[in-house]
Structure 1
Amino acid sequence: MKTLSHKGQILLGAIAALFLTALSMTAIVFMNGGAAPGGYWVPGSSRCTAPSLAGTVINVAATDMGGSMMGGADMMRGSMQLTADRATVTRGEVSFLVTNAGNIPHEMMIVPLAEPQIAGTRPVGRDGKIDETGSLAEAAATCAEGEGSGILPSAAGWITLDLPPGRYELFCNLPGHYGAGMYTQLTVT
């Protein structure tokens, strides 16, 4: 019997993770009577509408290449992105409207970024996630504010908080997403 190479094992693990994520999110929708968590209906191309958000609003897009993490560890980086419509804001109340323009669930975490650290350089654990210690907030609920199980495709989530001056890293911490390129930096002046 032939054994899988290291790259083959990574590929098989990535496929299994994607399949289990899709299966879990489908189960959540069906258990909610066809509605996403929060009671909103989220069919394939429909978008939910966020309430009027306070302070400076930053539009964040979470994108992926159809879950295209199938090229092993070297091909994964860059297959997903988290982009914000601005890199700098003034201190104070800031709202993040996170829209999932991809094909699989995503989230957005906010963590201070110490000098001289660079966004995208945090160590990734064996579980495909980074340490969330020091997290200020997350937008991970479909069609709702705050924490949740992930923002479903074609939907949005949001969070509002008071940010003091500093550098922050915005990232998706679902397994494998940070390593695939889902991070960006925000500077608050």
Structure 2
Amino acid sequence: MTRRRRRTPWAAIAIAVAALALGIATTGLMAAAGAFHRTAPAAWRAQNARCAAPAAKGSAVDVTVWDMGRMMRGPNRPVPDDRRPGRYGMGMMRLVARPTTVPAGKVTVRVVNEGTLTHEVIVMPLAAGRAAGERAPGADGRVSETGSLGEASRTCGSGAGDGIAPGAAAWTTVTLRPGRYELLCNVPGHYAAGMYTELDVTR
């Protein structure tokens, strides 16, 4: 009997720790798979959509930017100031482009912000042998924009602005030669949190 009494608290603790770890792992997998993202877009757009991108000039690349918003911060933490450097969560932001391959020429990058934070999309060339996500952020949480070919960061408009507000769209039209490009969000901390993808341009 004595042995059982001594083991019971340790067994209970072990079960509680295992359950907590399983819950965290499940939440992470669901976030990575876009489970939270898929439950919200239709309702979010119906409630919050402020504008829509125009018809594309040339090929169209539709980009969705998204973050886990309040789930990333916890219930009692304030909305972060997007101007401060640093990571938001553990890669719990997404930037998804469709299609990921287009022919050379005029390309309109149309962005919809389905997150709760301000985002943007910058079009950057990718050097040979480099992959999307390999740029090194500076002390301000941003990567260098040297060589940028275009930017969609104006709420309900084309070109550069102050960021795409939640529920809104932005767009930019660029002329791209055959090669590899990176689409990224350069709001401080967002690139390091996973907001980038590759775009391939063919002949």
Quickly name the TM-score band, shorter chain normalised.
0.7 to 0.9
- Higher helix content, 1 or 2: 2
Kindly indicate whether residue 54 of structure 2 is the aligned counterpart of residue 54 of structure 1. Answer: no
Distance 2:149 2:99 in 1: 19
Q: TM-score, normalised by structure 2?
A: 0.67
Amino acid at match of 1:135: S
| Structure 1 residue 77: Cα displacement | 3.9
Match of 2:147 in 1: 134
Distance 1:75 1:139 in 2: 21
Q: Tell me how large the CA RMSD over aligned residues is.
A: 2.2
Note the 1:65-84 alignment, pairs <5 A: 65-66=68-69, 70=73, 76-84=89-97
Note the 1:13-162 alignment, pairs <5 A: 45-66=48-69, 70=73, 76-162=89-175
Match of 2:34 in 1: none
Kindly indicate whether residue 182 of structure 2 is the aligned counterpart of residue 177 of structure 1. Answer: no
> Aligned residues, how many?
147
Q: Which runs of 4+ in 1 moved over 6 A?
A: none
Match of 1:15 in 2: none
Pick the structure with greater CA Rg.
Answer: 2
Deviations 1:12-71 (A, max 9, x none): xxxxxxxxxxxxxxxxxxxxxxxxxxxxxxx96123022222111111000001065559
Distance 1:185 1:146 in 2: 20
Q: Percent identity?
A: 49
Structure 1 unaligned spans of 5+: 1-42
Q: TM-score, normalised by structure 1?
A: 0.72
Distance 2:146 2:87 in 1: 27
- Label 1:94 to 1:67 Cα distance change in 2 as closer, same or farther (>3 A): farther
| Structure 1 residue 74: Cα displacement | 8.3
Contact preservation (8 Å) 1:44, 1:153: no
Structure 2 unaligned spans of 5+: 1-45, 75-85
